[in-house]
Structure 1
Amino acid sequence: MATMAVDLVSVMGKKCIIVLDAYFAVGPVFSILQKSLDDQGERLIHVVTRAKSNVVAYLDPPSKTGKPGRPRQYGSRLRLMDLFEAMVGQFEQTTIVLYGQSKEVSFLCLDLIWKPIGEKVRFVLVRDGSEQFILMCSDVELLASDIIRAYSYRFKIEVSFKMLKHLMGVFSYRFWTSVWPRIGKSNVSDLSSIKDQHSQRLIRQTANAIEAFMNFGCIATGILQIISLNFHQTIWGKYLGWLRTVTSTIPSEEVVKSVIQEEYYHNFRSFKNSAIYRIIMSKNRKPTVDAMPLAA
């Protein structure tokens, strides 16, 4: 993921912030992103992620004493989850817009040394009602409220992935080739060992098919969203399902898909001039007279 972000930003040439979940709150991810620099030597990518519950960080090392021996690299060790109680009086209150609504949260912003990279990271301890969690950001100049707001955007991303996976079946592709090296739990797919041109062509075609399938699924999802935003009254008027609670005047992608499927099914022969009609009809198996069973 981090390598993909570096490759993308190197092509774009613009600064960005990537938002990741706690799985990526590890030193190697931060180290990889540190290497993405512009012509002036400034970082192109910063990361906002949720810290693991057992995260620890360190205060600045004490001043040199002048005594013999190696000076300390780190100060006191802090288990950040304990600070929700130990520093409860230092939390600040702020109102930010989350998921389209104004919400009041309390937070504590600390710049501490994170041992996996040996540098300071901005930690934001957030208390949202009964929930409390810790966010990390590699940019120590980014405001705590902006870090919280940036992480809240992950909710939209998760919903999009849910639609792509469960509604559109974008990740249900079945393209493969036997020449592709097998991937196990302890090894990776090393394509550099493939020298045969025929095998390379098959792998390239397979990869292109997978990417095309997923891209078409993303495009189809976008079309459903456009229809939902622009024709929501028509969609609700033709929707035959039942919803226990209607929370928005804008129908979901699932509702739009249901209406389109129903309309297309009942008006299939009205689309005789469309390419999809010709493709479907070309796959139709026409029974022959000899193959039909005779009935008395």
Structure 2
Amino acid sequence: MAQAAEMILQVSTHFSGHSPLVVCDSWFGNNGLWRPLSAAAPSIHLLSRLRSSTVLYAKPPDAARTAKGRPRKYGDRCGSVTELAASLRERAQRYTVQLYGKAREIRAYDQVFLLKTLRCPVRVVWVFRKTQWVAFFTTDLTLSVTQIIEYYGARWKIEAGFKEIKQEIGSARSQNRTADAVSNHLHFCLLATTLTWIYADRIKADPKRRHLVKGRTSFAFSDVRKLITDEALPLRPFSGTLAPSQSTPT
């Protein structure tokens, strides 16, 4: 977690004047990542998925601040994410969001709560399906419901990128054993992936899909890789004979 926070802070230095939004899964969406980020760069915000057992609290009433003694930091217990999902389903509204390249109609409900794990207010969005639901939260209270859903949905491209690096490029098949060799192998794989997508961005016509998928018209990473291979290593008929060696036998 400390390494992840350090890497995020290093990247955020290149975006001075902006408010970076860290989108992560529920394993990273806790105070272990949020505490060092908020302490070092208050402009950074977090967007993640809530666990079903997380308890949410209301803001403390104004009267509690004027009463004697230490003021309350949290209001009444509103319930767990699961309990609130059952009671708020009927209050959900319809939204149109862009997910995975398509416009989709969803039902969602949002509200601002206090989250004890982060010790700050968050905007929570429940997205309801036919029989299931999912809850997201963000520390950036200015984000709309559609932005929260679309930003989190964009995480899938990261998962696809991991697959491209591991399977298509071959980072998971490293035979190196020393730390430097493993690190160099991974860096070359990342470089190859970056160059592949730069090449894909500059070609005039989209490559044909090798494996047709119903409802998909865009090309895949493997299609670009095959195109580069064909351009770099054009198929030539093999004559069946090899050129004689120029070296003198000893």
- 1:19 offset after TM fit, Å? 0.9
Q: 1:216 aligns with which of 184, 191, 195?
A: 191
User: Aligned pair 1:112/2:87, yes or no?
Assistant: no
Cα 1:51–1:65 change in 2 (3 A) is: closer
Deviations 1:42-62 (A, max 9, x none): x33111111112111111234
Q: Contact conserved, 1:96 with 1:104, CA < 8 A, in 2? A: yes
| 2: CA distance, partners of 1:268 / 1:164 | 32
| 1: CA distance, partners of 2:26 / 2:39 | 21
Cα 1:57–1:170 change in 2 (3 A) is: same
Q: Report the secondary structure of 2:51's partner residue.
A: coil
Q: How do 1:233-244 and structure 2 match up within 5 A?
A: 235-236=207-208, 243=211
| 2: CA distance, partners of 1:257 / 1:10 | 33
User: Aligned pair 1:267/2:236, yes or no?
Assistant: yes
Q: How many pairs does the alignment contain?
A: 237
Q: Contact conserved, 1:123 with 1:135, CA < 8 A, in 2? A: yes
- 1:113 offset after TM fit, Å? 1.1
Q: Contact conserved, 1:30 with 1:138, CA < 8 A, in 2? A: no
- 1:96 offset after TM fit, Å? 1.8
Bigger Cα Rg = 1
- 1:224 offset after TM fit, Å? 5.8
- 1:88 offset after TM fit, Å? 2.4
Deviations 1:100-133 (A, max 9, x none): 2221112221211111232211111111444410
5+ residue gaps in structure 1?
38-42, 181-202, 270-285, 291-296
- 1:247 offset after TM fit, Å? 4.2
Q: Contact conserved, 2:49 with 2:136, CA < 8 A, in 1? A: yes
Deviations 1:179-198 (A, max 9, x none): x6xxxxxxxxxxxxxxxxxx
* AA of the residue aligned to 1:96: V
Which residue number corresponds to residue 84 of structure 2? Answer: 83
Q: Report the secondary structure of 1:88's partner residue.
A: helix
TM-score (normalizing by structure 2)? 0.77
Which residue number corresponds to residue 219 of structure 2? Answer: 251
Deviations 1:63-106 (A, max 9, x none): 33987765543222210122122122322221122222221112
User: Aligned pair 1:12/2:11, yes or no?
Assistant: no
Q: Report the secondary structure of 1:159's partner residue.
A: helix
Cα 1:287–1:56 change in 2 (3 A) is: farther
- 1:159 offset after TM fit, Å? 1.5
Q: Contact conserved, 2:93 with 2:109, CA < 8 A, in 1? A: yes
| 1: CA distance, partners of 2:229 / 2:86 | 54
Which residue number corresponds to residue 147 of structure 1? Answer: 148
Larger RCO of the pair (alpha carbons < 8 Å, separation 6+): 2
Which residue number corresponds to residue 51 of structure 2? Answer: 52
Q: 1:22 aligns with which of 26, 42, 50?
A: 26
- 1:5 offset after TM fit, Å? 0.8
Q: 2:39 aligns with which of 12, 17, 35?
A: 35
- 1:244 offset after TM fit, Å? 5.9
The RMSD of aligned alpha carbons is 3.4
| 2: CA distance, partners of 1:222 / 1:159 | 13
5+ residue gaps in structure 2?
239-245
Cα 1:247–1:230 change in 2 (3 A) is: farther
Q: Report the secondary structure of 2:98's partner residue.
A: strand
TM-score (normalizing by structure 1)? 0.67
Moved more, 25-34 or 244-253: 244-253
Q: How do 1:63-82 and structure 2 match up within 5 A?
A: 63-64=63-64, 72-77=72-77, 78-82=79-83
- 1:223 offset after TM fit, Å? 4.8
